[in-house]
Every structure is written in C-alpha cells, then in structure tokens.
Amino acid sequence: MLQKIVYLIFVIVFLFSCKSNTETKEIASSPSEETTNYDNQIAQIDKIDSLANRYLDLGRFSGTLLIAQNDSIIFNKSYGLADYVTIKEFTDSTAFKIGHLSELFTEAIIRDMINQNLIQSNEKIATYIPQIKQNFTVEELLNHKSNLQTIAQIQEVNPNKTYSLIDYVNLSNNENDKAAEIQSELDYNILGLVIEKVTKKTFSEVLEQYAQKWNLESTYFHKTDTTHLAIGYLFYNYRNQGLKITPSPKYQDSMAFSSRGIKATVKDIFKFVNNFENQSLDKEGYLMNDGFSYSLKKDNDKKRTVLILSNRKHPVAREMSESIEKILNNEEYELPLIRQEIAINPDLLKEYEGVYAMNSTMNLTFVAENDSLFVIMGENKVELKPQSENQFFMNESDASIRFERDENNKVAKAILLDGFLEGNTILKVKG
C-alpha cells in the first residue's frame, strides 16, 4: 500500500509539473495522452525501483536516492540500512559523508566572503596563511589550478610524515602530472583554513552559520551526537569467510576537512544545489577509506536532478545515475546481472581460454578445465561462475569479468568490471 501511495504522489507531482510547462499551449493534452503519460511514469518508477534493489542485492549500494524535476522532488526512497550492526533504518534526517561534494559548500562560503570583500580572489594565499610558501591564489585553489599533489601522493614519498596541512602543502613538489585527472584535496583544505583565519572561527562553526542561512536542517562538519550519521561499510571477502559487509575504517577529519569532510542529507543537498539556478553540476566519487559513495547530476537544460548517496564504498553511484537518466529519457538501459550461477554450453569456455594483457608487464590467463573456467593470477587459480554466456563472477570477491567478441565473432577482449556494467578492458594476446 505504501509503495502505491508513493507511486501516486510521484505521478501527481510529475503531471502537475507537465501541466505548468504546457499552459501556454492552445490545445490541452487529450485524456488519452494523459493516460499514456501516467502509465509511462508508473513504468519508470518500477524500473528505477528495480534498478536500485538490484544494486542493493549485489552488495554495492545501500543508501538514498532522490530525483527532482522542475525543482520538485518526484522520487525519494532509501534502500538497505543506515547501520547494519544496530539494524537502524534510514530516515529523512540520516546524514551521509559526502566526499568532494563538500567542495560545493566550501566554495559557496568563499564566494560569499569574496562578495563581502573579506577575501580577494586574486590574492596570493600567503596573504592569509604566511606559513604556506607556495605562490598560488585563492581563485586558483577554487579552480584546482594549484597543481598540488594529493595527500596520497605526498604520503607515498613521505611515509613517516604525520599529516599536517601546511607541512603537506610545503612538501608538495608542485609537479603533479595527474592534476587534470586527480584534483588535490589540499586545495579546498587550504580554503577551509583561509575561512578560519579570516573569520577567527572554526570551519565547523562557519559552516553551521551558513547552513542556517541556507535553511539546511542537517549539514555539518563536526557534531558530538552522530546518532543520525549513516555508518560506512565495505563489502569484501573477509578472512576467506565469503562476501560480507564490514564497517569501514574512519577517515581522519583533519584530512577530510573542508574538501571531503562535510556530512549532509539528500534533501539538504538538493535544497542547496537549487541555488545554482543556471548551472549544471556533474560530480561523483567515493571515499576510499570511509565506506561512502555519491553521485550528483543536475541538468539545467532538462530541469532535472538525480542524487545518490550510499554508505558503501564502491563507485557504482555514477553507474546507477546514468541508468536512471536513460530510464527517465525512455531509453534502453542495462540491469546488472545477479550473482547466480547458470548452466552454459561447456564448449564456450574453450573460446575464452588464453592470455589477456592487463599492461606491458602483467597478464591474466584463463583456462577451461572440467567444464569450468578458471583465471590464473600469479600463484592463485580462481574458479569463475557463469552469470551469462559471456559474463562470470568470483565467489571470493564481488568482481566480474565479461568477454567480448570482435567483428569476426572471435573472443578478442575481456572487461574487468569496476562496477557492474563497465570497467577496464584487457586484450587477448594469446590463445
């Protein structure tokens, strides 16, 4: 009954939005067109719900999904649990760690302070933080143009150096050849420190003030009471006991800070990004050590927002949001295969045998034995279970492999699925 009510509310809101956008038309939609539109929206909701439940069943997603059209929320539902130990369900007040979506809030604070002439965008950062010896400006930090290395890159070279923001900034060699691909969290952590220096308040206090100004109910950096904070989880083969979910280790607040450390609810984020009236947003990612992933896609042209917050580390939120976009556009989409072994023709396995190159120095070898397919990785030999005629999974992990053919119908490559639909390609080089 509850689901039917949710469906009805969705349809009413959607039809109202459509009506408001077509009031200038001289000829109103006919009853048959309205019925068709109603049926289409019901079908879309069923597909979105099935998609989210499939990712939940596969262990890669647990969280909250929000879809908005024309500034109105048309779908908002949670899947899984906020805490799998205490069996705590998600509520409207459940906050998630939102990773580098935090940068949106930090940038908004900085921009407002620039408008108040408290900060100058073209000023060198040393004006505000003399201990930093680098030469970049506030605007360069906002646009990730500092070329600073990431925390992980600096730690790799300085494994025994305890994290300190200023020390790490000064340790960076400013020759980050991956800057275009991997934006350093140090950029926005510095901006958080600028906010503290100028306001003479903690970043947490300043964020709380702005959250009140923006009418946000549960957006914060630090709280003593974490009752409403979802617990982050990893899903992997724990001590060879099979696939299980386990609480993730905690990411240090000092490292996360103003670049990765903000917590918020889906409704707060939606309310906040609605302030960007003429701006599209497309951000996704996951917290490597903290068990959360996220995807935000705000399409200004379509007046549509798709937001996914998950308390699982795996980076499938983007994959989910892309499928949801296709569903809403009435396009073909893929539903990930369930992890269930099926019977296939054993002759097919011989076609998948061979050596596949991961890179110039590392290969994977696939062999067919006793009507089963195995992958050899170093000294390990792991059996692969067929999910379809060309896709296989491992009992020991949540990884899958899909074999693909060329124009001559010969098996030419395999896809190591990072999510469930796409991943890294390895070419068949022998066999």
Tokens of 288: 């490597």
Strand partners of residue 297: 282, 306
Instruction: Give one DSSP letter per residue of 18-47, joined into a string.
Output: HHHHSTT-SSPPPHHHHHHHHHHHHHHHHH
Domains and their CATH numbers in the chain: 96-293 (3.40.710.10), 347-430 (2.40.128.50)
Q: How confident is the chain (431 residues) per 10-residue block, as mean pLDDT?
A: 35 34 37 73 94 92 95 95 95 96 98 97 96 93 95 93 95 66 90 98 98 97 93 73 76 92 97 89 88 95 96 88 96 94 95 93 93 90 95 87 96 91 92 85
* Other beta carbons within 10 Å of 413: 16
- Token pair 């022998």 is found at 430
pLDDT tens column, 389-406: 999 998 878 789 999 999
CA 328 to chain centre: 19
Taking the C-alpha atoms of residue 148 and residue 171, their distance in angstroms, rounded to an integer, is: 9
pTM reported for the whole predicted model: 0.85
pLDDT at 26: 35
What does the block give as tokens for 214?
A: 């923006």
**Which 8-state DSSP code applies to residue 95?**
B
pLDDT for res 277: 78
| Three-class DSSP category at 25 | coil
| Residue 89, helix vs strand vs coil | coil
- Distances, alpha carbon 376 to alpha carbons 233, 354, 411, 425, in Å: 29, 10, 18, 17
**Tens digit of pLDDT for each residue in 97-149?**
999 999 999 999 999 999 999 999 999 999 999 999 888 999 999 999 999 99
Q: Which pLDDT score, from 0 to 100, does residue 30 have? A: 55
* Residue 100 CB neighbours (<10 A): 20
Name residues whose C-beta falls within 8 Å of residue 162's C-beta, 6 or more positions apart in sequence.
Answer: none
Q: How much of the chain is helix, strand and coil, in % rounded to 5?
A: 35, 25, 40
